[in-house]
Chains A and B, each alone.
Chain A
Amino acid sequence: MHSFKNKMIFISIFTIFFPLLAALGALHMTGGVNSTVMFCALAGAIIALGAAVFTTEKLFASSSKINAAMERLARGEQAEILKTSGDDYFSPITASLNQMITQNNVFKREIEAAAGSMANGDFNFSVNLNELSGFYRASLEKIAEAAKKVGEPVAAINAILDKVSKGDITNERIDIDARGAFASLKANTNSLLGTIDNLLNEVKVVCIATIFEGKLDKRANVSLFQGRWARLAAGINDIVNTFVKPLTLSSDYITSISNGTIPPKITEEYKGDFNILKSSFNVCINNLQAMIKEVNDLTHAAADGNLKKRGNSEKFEGAYREIIGGINQTLDSVINPISKMNEHLVLLSKGEISGKIEDECKGDFCELKDSLNKLITTLDNLLNEVKVVCIATIFEGHIDKRANVSLFQGRWAKLASGINDLINAFANPLKMSANYITQIGSGKIPPVITEDYKGDFNIIKDSFNNCINNLSNLTVEVEALTHAATDGKLKVRGNADKFAGVYKEIIEEINSTLDAIVNPLNVAADYVAKISKGEVSEKITAEYKGDFNDIKNNINSLITTVDTMLNEIKTICIAVIFEGKLDKRTGASQFSGRWAKLASGINDIVNSLVNPLKVSSNYLQQISQGEIPAKITDEYKGDFNEIKNSINTCLDTLTSLIITDGGAALQAAADKDLTARVKKTYSGLYDRMKDNINSLIENLEDMFKQIAANSENVSSSSNQISKGAQALAQGASEQASALEEVSSSLHQMNSMAKQNAANAKEGQNLTTSARSSTERGVDSMRKMSVAINQIKDSSNNTAKILKTIDEIAFQTNLLALNAAVEAARAGDAGKGFAVVADEVRNLAMRSAEAAKNTARMIEESVKYANNGVSINEEVMKNLDEINGQVKKVNEFMSEISAASEQQSEGINQINTAVAQMNQVTQQNAAYSEESASASQELTYQAEQMKNMILQFKLSSVKTTVLSGGFDVHSGPSFNKRPVPPPAPHKKKDFKDFEHIQPAAKGGDSDPKKVIPFDEDSQVLQEF
């Protein structure tokens, strides 16, 4: 309305201004301004303007109503019918608007009705098109049509779903022409149908497989489905599984039970009916196991022969009890006939063939009974036959009797024929044996059996053959013995080892018979042989019988005679030869016959020998007693005369030698006249005796002469010896004292040597330490040398630095001078600078001076260092020399030490030697004392000897031999020199020597005192 109002205003304005514009335009056209026209135009315009404002007011009121209605319409609100004012400009508009509102309301009502039907599921509703026109009508019609179109597929789907809900699921699908959402609804419904169909199919397949075909493995194919359908399929499978698993298990159990294996109890957990099933199974298994155990027990009992054992049917129930009862009955019905049969068989086995079995039996047991009865009959027959044959063969000896085989059948017939064969097998060898034994009994040795036999018959055959062999061998042996006996080989015996048993005994008997004959013969032969060889042995003591006893007795008497004869001869021989009893003779009377003659002959021989012997004996006895008897004057013959002559000659010789000639000479010598000699001539040993006597006397004479001469010499010599010995004793004592001094000196020397050795060792130690010190010194010097050289080096370095400083100073100086030159050039302005330059120069000069001084000092220090180095070297050299010398000293010291030790050892040895010397000296002293006294005694003895010799008459004496005016003939001259009585001469040992006081010795000069041996030895020990 506002727009309308605006429009009105716009129109009004246009209408107002248009005249204005027209007026203006006219003005412009005329080209001249006419104020009246303009005024008119202006008034017209104002009038027009007022009219326009009035009209506009009216219009505005109408249009606002219309506008409000239209606004409601525009907002979708139900507008009310507008009132029409006839003269209004807007009345047509209002009418149209009212019509439009009416149409609108109707349309709304119809649409609402349609919507309500559709909301109530009624798509097949009818619409009232009468009040509507135009597009409202068309729209409503289309809506109705669309609703119908919607209703169609819904109905179709509904129909199908109705069928489905009733279980009538066919292959029918929705086959309507649907579009858009209905197409997808159709497709979905169809796919739902397909899914349901598939599911049903799967379930059907599974059901058919499991229920009708028993294929419990069949499952629904889950992969065919999706979402919940898949779950449904899986659920079905699970249900099937839930049934199938216990079923399979049950099936397995039942299978294994039917196969005879009792499975273990089911332990898995099941629920509900399955659990009942499980426990039923377990109960079944228990029962089965118990039954099996019972049956097993029964079987074991039966196997163990315990046929009385029965199953305990009370343990079981129902069919199991019946089974066990049945088993028990079966056992009863089987075992009773068997035990009866058994009783009969026991009797049979015991050999008691009783009558036939009369008990009633049934079925197979009846057959068994008949068979047993048949067996009893057959056995009876067989026994009879065997009895007949046994009686015939054993008791009556009818070996030809055989059993009647025709009475038996089958094996029994074979048994009977076997018995016959057996008898045959025995009978044949028996016959042959009888034949052979008969032959042997009649002395014929039959040939060896060569036929073949077996087993024991072979043994019999071998025995026969052995017997035959033995008999043959025996014959051969006996023949050999007989031949040997006829050949005189009495030592041959039968070899019994070749035979055994009786044959051996036979041969042994033959051997012992031979022994009985041959042994006495051998003994007799032995004895005779022994007697012939002179071996008279003991008498035969063995017992012999008959003729052998005679032989024995004769031999014994021979042995006795020979024995007695021998004893007689032995007695004579012992008496004559060993005992010298020449009177003994044999008793001839003891013997008889030739034996008596033999005895008297022996006596005669003895007599003829004994007589001359007795005469000779008598003479020899006299000679041995120192009497020379008169010559034998009796006459003897033969050899005995020669004996007589010899004895007489002997008597002559003895007389001359002992009494006249030799005796005189010896008498003279005994009278101290050594000039007489044996003069006659003798032969043989007597001549030698004469010579010996003569040479004895001559020797004696010579000896006495010599002794006479020597005794003088001995006398003087012994005097000299005595003096010498005394001097020696003196010397020995002096020597002993000297030795004491030597010993003490040696002692000192030894201690000194020891001290020397110790000192030398100490010196060696000192020198060793000195050496190490000097070595250390050398080392230190070397270090010092190095240090000095380092100092030198550093001094040189410092000198270099100083040189540098010097150079710097020089350069500074130059700089300062240059600065001064510059300052001078600068004139007055450079005066300050000149001063600075001068100062710098001074500093440079000073530093140069200081460097110079330092350099000089360093030079000095280097010089000193050099000096130090050279001194150091010198010191080192000296130290080296010292070291070498110390080394030498050390060596010397060690040598001295060794030498001292050696010296000490030497001194020890010397000491020992001196001790030995001392001992020797003591001994010497003792010996010299002894020799002094011995020489004195010697002198005395010599004098005595001289006196004694002077008593002998000697043929001539050479005076020149005797010295010292000794004259044989001037015997008294001996007396002029009285010999002091000899000191009591005895063997003196060392101890005794102490008590002797030699004349030439003072009391102090006793060597024992001079040399204290014990002490010395002590010292030596200490040493």
Chain B
Amino acid sequence: MSGDNINNYSGFGSIATAAKKIEGGKFLTFYLGNEEYGIQILKVQEIIGIMEITPVPRTPDFIKGVINLRGHIIPVIYLRSKFGMPEIENTEQTCIIVVKTRNLIMGLIVDRVCEVSDIPTNDIDEAPSFGTFVNTEYILGIGKFASKVKLLLDIDKVITAQEYAGMSKIVENIN
């Protein structure tokens, strides 16, 4: 299902032309469903296995709750929900990628972490525009590989400012 969504998005991607070059570098790639995503590695704090998540009431669906990461309470975002993908059971490979964005450390639950791949600038295309009704702001670019693509996420934009504020509040409240 999630694949379908993505395909839907990519279905419109051919119109876009790369005006702005996205700088290449190391990306931590991970999977949600069958699709591979990438995050700039400098945004990544660390990767941990899935652990017990304490749900926080009255929070949006994509916020799974909070975890205690070595004494720090960090919110955890269920990226599938964020990307409109259905929830699945956690597997052994389910991981939390701890990222730091706009001074907020948070966890992203992904299906499985893939690798740290070096993507040269030439292999990165700009995210295609799907029109105004589709917000592709959080996509930094699309890394190209032999036969498939990796959506390189701008993690700062995955979480909107409002959401960010909410989450900050949660963290504050908890702490």
Query: Taking the nearest CB of chain A, how far is it from the CB of B23, in angstroms?
Result: 14
A817 near B115: Cβ-Cβ < 8 Å = yes
| Main SS at interface, chain A | helix
B41 close to A (CB within 8 Å): yes
Name the residue on A nearest B26 (C-beta). A824
Q: Encode A807-825 as 1/0 by CB contact (under 8 A) with B.
A: 1001101100110110011
Residues of chain B in range 86-139 having any CB-CB distance to chain A below 8 Å: 92-93, 95, 113, 115-116
Query: Taking the nearest CB of chain A, how far is it from the CB of B143, in angstroms?
Result: 16
A820-B49 CB under 8 A given contacts A806-B92, A838-B116 = no
A820-B92 CB under 8 A given contacts A814-B47, A814-B48 = no
Residues of chain B in range 19-78 having any CB-CB distance to chain A below 8 Å: 26, 28, 41-42, 44-49
- Docked pose: A452 CA to B112 CA in angstroms: 166
A841 close to B (CB within 8 Å): yes
The interface residues of chain B lying within 8 Å CB-to-CB of A886 are: none
- Docked pose: A811 CA to B93 CA in angstroms: 10
Contact of B28 among A811, A813, A817 (CB under 8 A): A817
The interface residues of chain B lying within 8 Å CB-to-CB of A837 are: 116
A821-B49 CB under 8 A given contacts A806-B92, A810-B92 = no
The interface residues of chain B lying within 8 Å CB-to-CB of A825 are: 41-42
B28 near A814: Cβ-Cβ < 8 Å = no
B92 near A807: Cβ-Cβ < 8 Å = yes
B95 near A814: Cβ-Cβ < 8 Å = yes
The interface residues of chain B lying within 8 Å CB-to-CB of A810 are: 49, 92-93
Name the residue on B nearest A841 (C-beta). B115
Q: How large is the interface on B (under 10, 10 to 19, 20 to 34, 35 or more residues)?
A: 10 to 19
The interface residues of chain B lying within 8 Å CB-to-CB of A838 are: 116
A834 close to B (CB within 8 Å): yes
A821 near B46: Cβ-Cβ < 8 Å = yes
Query: Taking the nearest CB of chain B, how far is it from the CB of A618, in angstroms?
Result: 165
Query: Taking the nearest CB of chain B, how far is it from the CB of A327, in angstroms?
Result: 149
- Docked pose: A806 CA to B49 CA in angstroms: 13
The interface residues of chain A lying within 8 Å CB-to-CB of B41 are: 820-821, 824-825
B42 near A824: Cβ-Cβ < 8 Å = yes
- Docked pose: A824 CA to B46 CA in angstroms: 12
Name the residue on A nearest B30 (C-beta). A817
Query: Taking the nearest CB of chain B, how far is it from the CB of A826, in angstroms?
Result: 11
A824-B95 CB under 8 A given contacts A817-B47, A818-B47 = no
- Docked pose: A806 CA to B92 CA in angstroms: 9
- Docked pose: A841 CA to B41 CA in angstroms: 16
Name the residue on A nearest B25 (C-beta). A824
Q: How large is the interface on A (under 10, 10 to 19, 20 to 34, 35 or more residues)?
A: 10 to 19
The interface residues of chain A lying within 8 Å CB-to-CB of B28 are: 817, 820-821
Name the residue on A nearest B27 (C-beta). A824
- Docked pose: A814 CA to B115 CA in angstroms: 9
A817 near B113: Cβ-Cβ < 8 Å = yes
The interface residues of chain B lying within 8 Å CB-to-CB of A841 are: 115-116
B49 near A811: Cβ-Cβ < 8 Å = yes
Query: Taking the nearest CB of chain B, how far is it from the CB of A107, in angstroms?
Result: 124
The interface residues of chain A lying within 8 Å CB-to-CB of B116 are: 817, 820-821, 824, 834, 837-838, 841
Query: Taking the nearest CB of chain B, how far is it from the CB of A555, in angstroms?
Result: 167
Query: Taking the nearest CB of chain B, how far is it from the CB of A641, in angstroms?
Result: 168
B47 near A821: Cβ-Cβ < 8 Å = yes
Name the residue on A nearest B116 (C-beta). A820
Q: Encode A781-806 as 1/0 by CB contact (under 8 A) with B.
A: 00000000000000000000000001
A818-B46 CB under 8 A given contacts A824-B41, A824-B116, A838-B116 = yes
The interface residues of chain A lying within 8 Å CB-to-CB of B95 are: 814
Query: Taking the nearest CB of chain B, how far is it from the CB of A677, in angstroms?
Result: 146
Name the residue on A nearest B45 (C-beta). A821
The interface residues of chain A lying within 8 Å CB-to-CB of B47 are: 814, 817-818, 821
- Docked pose: A366 CA to B113 CA in angstroms: 176
Query: Taking the nearest CB of chain A, how far is it from the CB of B83, in angstroms?
Result: 21
The interface residues of chain B lying within 8 Å CB-to-CB of A817 are: 28, 47, 113, 115-116
- Docked pose: A821 CA to B43 CA in angstroms: 9
A813-B42 CB under 8 A given contacts A818-B47, A824-B26 = no
Query: Taking the nearest CB of chain A, how far is it from the CB of B108, in angstroms?
Result: 14
A813 near B46: Cβ-Cβ < 8 Å = no
Query: Taking the nearest CB of chain A, how far is it from the CB of B71, in angstroms?
Result: 18
- Docked pose: A817 CA to B44 CA in angstroms: 10
The interface residues of chain A lying within 8 Å CB-to-CB of B26 are: 820, 824, 834
Name the residue on B nearest A848 (C-beta). B93
B42 near A814: Cβ-Cβ < 8 Å = no
Residues of chain A in range 812-855 having any CB-CB distance to chain B below 8 Å: 813-814, 817-818, 820-821, 824-825, 834, 837-838, 841
Name the residue on A nearest B49 (C-beta). A814
Name the residue on A nearest B113 (C-beta). A817
- Docked pose: A806 CA to B26 CA in angstroms: 26
The interface residues of chain B lying within 8 Å CB-to-CB of A824 are: 26, 41-42, 116
The interface residues of chain A lying within 8 Å CB-to-CB of B113 are: 813-814, 817
Name the residue on B nearest A813 (C-beta). B113
- Docked pose: A281 CA to B115 CA in angstroms: 144
- Docked pose: A841 CA to B46 CA in angstroms: 15
- Docked pose: A813 CA to B26 CA in angstroms: 17
- Docked pose: A818 CA to B95 CA in angstroms: 12
Query: Taking the nearest CB of chain B, how far is it from the CB of A270, in angstroms?
Result: 125
- Docked pose: A340 CA to B28 CA in angstroms: 179
The interface residues of chain A lying within 8 Å CB-to-CB of B49 are: 810-811, 814
The interface residues of chain A lying within 8 Å CB-to-CB of B46 are: 818, 821
A821-B44 CB under 8 A given contacts A811-B49, A834-B116, A841-B115 = yes
Query: Taking the nearest CB of chain A, how far is it from the CB of B29, in angstroms?
Result: 10
Query: Taking the nearest CB of chain B, how far is it from the CB of A847, in angstroms?
Result: 14
The interface residues of chain A lying within 8 Å CB-to-CB of B45 are: 821
- Docked pose: A200 CA to B69 CA in angstroms: 127
Name the residue on A nearest B40 (C-beta). A824
- Docked pose: A821 CA to B42 CA in angstroms: 7
Name the residue on B nearest A814 (C-beta). B47
Query: Taking the nearest CB of chain B, how far is it from the CB of A400, in angstroms?
Result: 174
Name the residue on B nearest A842 (C-beta). B115
The interface residues of chain A lying within 8 Å CB-to-CB of B44 are: 821
Residues of chain A in range 705-758 having any CB-CB distance to chain B below 8 Å: none
Residues of chain A in range 141-167 having any CB-CB distance to chain B below 8 Å: none
The interface residues of chain B lying within 8 Å CB-to-CB of A820 are: 26, 28, 41, 116
Name the residue on B nearest A845 (C-beta). B115
Name the residue on A nearest B95 (C-beta). A814
The interface residues of chain B lying within 8 Å CB-to-CB of A814 are: 47-49, 95, 113
The interface residues of chain B lying within 8 Å CB-to-CB of A807 are: 92
Name the residue on B nearest A817 (C-beta). B47
Query: Taking the nearest CB of chain B, how far is it from the CB of A814, in angstroms?
Result: 5
Query: Taking the nearest CB of chain B, how far is it from the CB of A698, in angstroms?
Result: 138
Query: Taking the nearest CB of chain B, how far is it from the CB of A806, in angstroms?
Result: 7
- Docked pose: A890 CA to B46 CA in angstroms: 78
The interface residues of chain A lying within 8 Å CB-to-CB of B42 are: 824-825
- Docked pose: A811 CA to B46 CA in angstroms: 13
The interface residues of chain B lying within 8 Å CB-to-CB of A818 are: 46-47
- Docked pose: A991 CA to B94 CA in angstroms: 118
- Docked pose: A838 CA to B45 CA in angstroms: 17
Query: Taking the nearest CB of chain B, how far is it from the CB of A464, in angstroms?
Result: 160
Pick the 9 closest A-B CB pairs, nearest first.
A820-B116, A824-B41, A824-B26, A821-B44, A817-B47, A818-B46, A814-B47, A818-B47, A821-B41
**What are some 29 contacts across the A-B interface (CB < 8 A)?**
A806-B92, A807-B92, A810-B49, A810-B93, A811-B49, A813-B113, A814-B48, A814-B49, A814-B95, A814-B113, A817-B47, A817-B115, A818-B46, A820-B26, A820-B41, A820-B116, A821-B28, A821-B41, A821-B44, A821-B46, A821-B47, A821-B116, A824-B41, A824-B42, A825-B41, A834-B116, A837-B116, A838-B116, A841-B116
Question: Could you tell me which A residues sit within 8 Å of B by CB distance?
Answer: 806-807, 810-811, 813-814, 817-818, 820-821, 824-825, 834, 837-838, 841
Sample of 17 more A-B contacts, CB < 8 Å, known A820-B26, A834-B116: A810-B49, A810-B92, A810-B93, A813-B113, A814-B47, A814-B48, A814-B49, A814-B113, A817-B28, A817-B47, A818-B47, A820-B41, A821-B28, A821-B46, A821-B47, A824-B26, A824-B41
